[in-house]
Amino acid sequence: MKNSILYITVVAFATLLLASCEKEIEFKGEQTDPKLVVNCVCTVGEPVVAQLSKSYFFLDPDGNTEAPDATKVQLYVNDNYVGEMIRFEDSLWGKAGGDVLRSPQIKLFRNDYCPKTGDRIKITASASGYDAVEACTSPMPEPAGCVISDFVLTGEPTFESWYDDDGCQSFHYIYKADVMLDVSDPNPGQTDYFVLNVAVEWQGEHQWNANVWAEYSDPVFGNGGPVLGELSENSNRNHSFTDLLFDGKTYKVKVPVNLNLYGYSASDSVSPVLSMRVEHLTKEYYNYLTTVSLQGDEVVGAFAEPVHVFSNVQDGYGIVGGTNVSKAEYLLPLEKPQP
Amino acid sequence: MRFYSTCRVFILLGLFFVSLAVSAQRRTISGYVMDAESKETLIGATVVDERSGKGCVSNSYGFYTLTLNPGDVNLQVSYVGYSQQQHSFTLTSDTTLSVSLSTNIQLNEVVVEASRGTVSARSSQMSVVELPVQQIKSIPTLFGEADVLKAIQLLPGVQNGSEGSAGMYVRGGGPDENLLLLDGVPVYNVNHMLGFFSVFNPDALKNVTLYKGSFPARFGGRLSSVVDIRMKEGDMRKYHGNVSIGLISSKLNLEGPVIKDKLSFNVSFRRSYSDLLMKPALWIARMQDPEVGRLKAGYYFYDLNAKINWKISDKDRLYLSFYSGDDGIYFNRKFKEKSNSHYESSSTEKLRWRWGNKVTALRWNRVLSQKLFMDASANYTQYRHNLGMSMIESYKDFQDNTALNNEFSMAYRSGIHDLTGKVDFDYMPVPNHEIRFGGNYTYHRFRPDVQSLKITSDNLQNHSFDTVAGSPSVSAHETALYAEDNMTLGEIFQVNAGLHYSTFTVENRFYHSLQPRLSLSAMLASNMSIKAGYAYMNQYVHLLSNSSLSLPTDLWVPVTAKIEPMKAHQVSLGCFYEIPEWLDVSVEGYYKAMDNLLEYKDGASFFGSSEHWDEKVCMGKGKAYGVELLLQRSFGRTTGWIGYTWAHAKRKFDREGQTINEGKEFPAKYDRRHDVSITVQHKFSERFDLSGTWVFSTGNCGTLGLQYYEGLAGGNYTPTIAALERNNYRLGNYHRLDLSMNFHRKYKHATGTWNVSVYNTYNHNNPFLVFVDYYDKDGKETKVLKQASIFPIIPSVSYSYKF
């Protein structure tokens, strides 16, 4: 009898304990209206391309983000009207396997003006039923120094080849290498903002694909603390950093890269180039990148104020920022695999 | 010009006090009020001459002084929980009379009236609550850890932060707007374990008083509250001790005479033991997987309180108080691998993260005359936060005869050091004037954030990097002068009027402010009064925090050329009623306007930017108003209180380049409309007592993204972003019942107590956060809102042995 009472007590207590944690609740707040969304990163020397969409209510199951068809987008440089931005379709836009983007609901607008260092770019957008929106960048930055000072293979490259069901021959190269990258800060005494990207670009026929991972632990590039992360383009982990620890100096960072090159029916003219890109950012773009990478961090989300992703679009959402790209390239020592 | 006007005001006040001193031929009775057994002084004891109706209250060191006309005197001395004493004699000359009160053995037989001088209806002071330490210890708490700040959070006008945390939000203020004084010295970081416990060990404490408005002029430097905590001085006659073992920590308290009736000590130590409990788990992990290496890791906190009390003579006393407390996280891992004669590799990883306070006060009390009491002290307080990480890797190849060494170390340090010299005087020239005046000087040394980095690497090519960065250390000088007079005007009115003048010099910038303080009280009946108060407060230091939790990375920083001092004007009005022999009732309303409040800019963080911290924050305004009801019973077998608060707290950051929430007004995070707390303790017998706390409050404000949108598309990734409007959503109501039972067993020279506590007895799922969840309903994805809770029903048990 005593054992039964003890058993019932333990079960009742465990049930109470486990009944905690989470439950579904009814939303009792105000339902807000959608707004226009403008996203645009202006790059020095390249035409201005803006991405237009709209927001949706958070419990809306459809989550439609397509901007109205009659959305009007205009471009200003240094407060001078440059012209309307024209809607265009990118051939790769929204298509699986494309190189640029995956969301089919975002509309693209373009103006052929190519920003110069020091320009302030302003974009306005309006559509019936929505508040008109506008956003402006701070002056477009100058380029940062970016040099690959050394490239050392950290093991023998591996090579595989096989035939698929159609009889085509496929190849797979795997490289592991340490890349020493020298990054120079162009403005001593001033806060500068950067982001690092790694990619493989192709000279010759584009019959190869590549995946690049760079895993490193570096206090500067890890935003002040050692961060192990992948430098891949399908992640919201961007590697933005400031000149906090190398203001006005040249900083040498070791980036261990892991290269996967694969293709089929290889051409003799293929030669892959490792491209290390250091982008010098405007402050608003840096703010956006740092906050967007923090959003969704579970630890932050659970215990702290949710991260407000930086937006400089008045009466709407999004980011209009600028960047100046410096590129260091290294021709990978690829020998054509023998079938 | 304004500085000289201020000086003139102080000179006039001085002349006024001198004129009072020579105004009449009266006699003064003065002395200490003490516990009869331990000779520990009693703070806030009431001393009243029944014949004339004149009275006073013992000060923070138990000293009282009462000036009366010569003649027969019938002096009544009373203090809560003690038997009242009467002394009848003829007053012909200045008299020294120290009174020793005995504790009530049978609480229901002796009734103490007018026992709480500073907080009763008869006092001019309002917005003050005294919490007996014994009551704090009996309040049921999370994991059974008695906690001063959690007890204070149950009072009307005081909100807690997130569930379980020790953060305090007083009358709509922020967590850094509370001046927490341990023996008169500020303590900067008051939390252990991310704020789940406070640093104050109740075993070491004697008295806790909360001021939340209508501040006397002697206090300054914070906008919203002052918590005056006094440590026990130690029994002058007998040795005592107390050992407690709980789920989270264990405590040891010892006190006694070094020289009987001359010199006493009190020492308390508390330490958590989660790191010690982790050791077997780490050992098992290593046994199961040798690649784990030699691993040491854990979290701990400890407190050490010590106080020495030396009664040099009847006129002189010396106190030395010391507090040291730390939280620490450590991680050590050593790994070594050797492959016969081919190679040998080793790695060592270390993390040391420590933060905590050190507080020291050397205090000299001297009775300069029957009417004048001096308290002079030299104080030191320090908060420091050190984070250090290092990694050393080495690799030796015996075949190639090559070796590689890589070393990386990084440190992050922040902190604040204060050195203070202070002198306070209590002066009672005539019966109707109780004057306090004094001043202090503080040298502040702020080290907001220093990051250092050292890299030495043989890998690839020899390269090394060694740098230090962060905001530079800042020195600041703060001074304060004050004078206040507690005046009795006839039979009905009492006024406490004062001025607090403070200066702050930092980076060649001089800030100063003259802060008037006023409290008025009108006795409508012998047990009923109405009171009104006004206080202007300034604050020269800020706490920068990214999180609602108390993190060690939170930075204390001074005002700068860009960041001006925070300011608050507060008015309050209240009615106080004592139901004789039973209950005190008070109703208070307040309105507080705040300016230059600080918040981080959106997306800014304390770490990883070369910007000076004052570039990362913005300044704004706040306002708070509300009504508080308190019914409190502090003596008898049943004690406790019922508190209710109706409140609003708002913020607005709309200055150019410093907007938050697009410049629109938003509710403060802990803006709660209704807040109820009921705390009851009942002593059934000498062997058993029971206590319970029930709290109810409107839910916290939270930030919920009501609109979602697609971020900047790039590569193969398009982030989905929540558009956030600050504190736009209110969580569900919060309520909880905690119960605690004490079973006492008396031994020949000791008492053992088992404490059984249950937190959240009826296991209510209190909201901690809400989030959107997705599920499939009839083949269609549906979104729902979900609420998460963190603390279900939590029982705990502890044992203490008092000897």
| Best mutation target, A32, A227, A309, to test chain B (most B CBs within 10 A) | A309
Q: Do the chains contact at B722 and A295, CB–CB below 8 Å?
A: yes
How would residue B108 be classed by pLDDT, with cut points 50, 70 and 90? Answer: very low
Q: Do the chains contact at A101 and B722, CB–CB below 8 Å?
A: no
Looking at beta carbons, which residues of chain A come within 8 Å of B717?
A: 102, 233-236
Q: Among B463, B547, B787, select the one facing A25 at the smallest CB separation.
A: B787
Chain segment B373-388, per-residue pLDDT in tens:
999 999 999 998 888 8
Q: Do the chains contact at A13 and B546, CB–CB below 8 Å?
A: no
pLDDT at residue B345 tops 90: no
Q: Do the chains contact at B460 and A180, CB–CB below 8 Å?
A: yes
Span B261-289, average pLDDT: 84
Residue B657 neighbours by CB distance under 10 Å: 6
| Nearest CA-CA distance, residue B788 and chain A, Å | 4
pLDDT of residue A168: 66
Residue A163 neighbours by CB distance under 10 Å: 11
Span B467-486, average pLDDT: 83
Spatial distance between the Cα atoms of B609 and B613, rounded to a whole number of angstroms: 9
Spatial distance between the Cα atoms of A244 and A287, rounded to a whole number of angstroms: 15
pLDDT of residue B776: 76
Chain segment B54-74, per-residue pLDDT in tens:
888 888 888 988 888 888 889
Chain segment A18-40, per-residue pLDDT in tens:
455 778 888 887 888 899 999 99
Mean pLDDT estimate for chain B: 84
pLDDT of residue B586: 92
| Best mutation target, B414, B718, B734, B786, to test chain A (most A CBs within 10 A) | B718
pLDDT of residue A303: 45
Q: Among B711, B765, B783, select the one facing A59 at the smallest CB separation.
A: B783
Q: Do the chains contact at A105 and B710, CB–CB below 8 Å?
A: yes
Percentage, residues of chain B above pLDDT 90: 36
- Among A226-235, B259-268, B337-346, the range of highest mean pLDDT: B259-268
* Pick from B140-144, B302-306, B338-342: least confident: B338-342
Question: Which value does ipTM take for this structure?
Answer: 0.82
The residue with greater pLDDT, B564 or A101, is B564
How would residue B111 be classed by pLDDT, with cut points 50, 70 and 90? Answer: very low
Sign of CA dihedral B242, B245, B251, B252: positive
* Pick from A175-179, B105-109, B597-601, B751-755: least confident: B105-109
How would residue B400 be classed by pLDDT, with cut points 50, 70 and 90? Answer: confident
| Nearest CA-CA distance, residue B169 and chain A, Å | 17
Chain segment B172-200, per-residue pLDDT in tens:
998 889 999 999 999 998 888 777 788 88
Chain segment A96-148, per-residue pLDDT in tens:
444 444 567 888 999 999 999 999 999 999 999 999 999 999 999 999 999 99
pLDDT of residue B609: 47
Q: Do the chains contact at A319 and B711, CB–CB below 8 Å?
A: yes
Span B354-372, average pLDDT: 92
Q: Do the chains contact at B709 and A25, CB–CB below 8 Å?
A: no
pLDDT of residue A97: 42
pLDDT of residue A39: 95
| Best mutation target, A15, A25, A180, to test chain B (most B CBs within 10 A) | A25
* Pick from A267-271, B545-549, B635-639, B779-783: least confident: A267-271
> What amino acid occupies position B480?
A
Spatial distance between the Cα atoms of B650 and B667, rounded to a whole number of angstroms: 4
The residue with greater pLDDT, B723 or B623, is B623
How would residue B109 be classed by pLDDT, with cut points 50, 70 and 90? Answer: very low
pLDDT at residue B734 tops 70: yes
Chain segment A257-311, per-residue pLDDT in tens:
777 777 665 455 556 788 888 899 999 998 888 778 766 544 444 445 567 788 9
Q: Do the chains contact at B608 and A22, CB–CB below 8 Å?
A: no
Span B757-780, average pLDDT: 83
Residue B668 neighbours by CB distance under 10 Å: 23
Residue B535 token pair = 């206080």
SS3 B39: coil
* Pick from A111-125, B336-350, B786-800: least confident: B336-350
pLDDT of residue A339: 46
Residue B574 token pair = 């209240």
Rg (CA), chain B: 29
Angle made by CA atoms B640, B643, B647, in degrees to the nearest 5: 160
Residue B207's contacts (CB-CB under 8 Å, 6 or more residues apart) are B43, B44, B130, B133, B228, B229, B230
Residue A1 to residues A10, A11, A179, A327, Cα–Cα distance (Å)? 14, 15, 73, 79
Q: Do the chains contact at A254 and B459, CB–CB below 8 Å?
A: yes
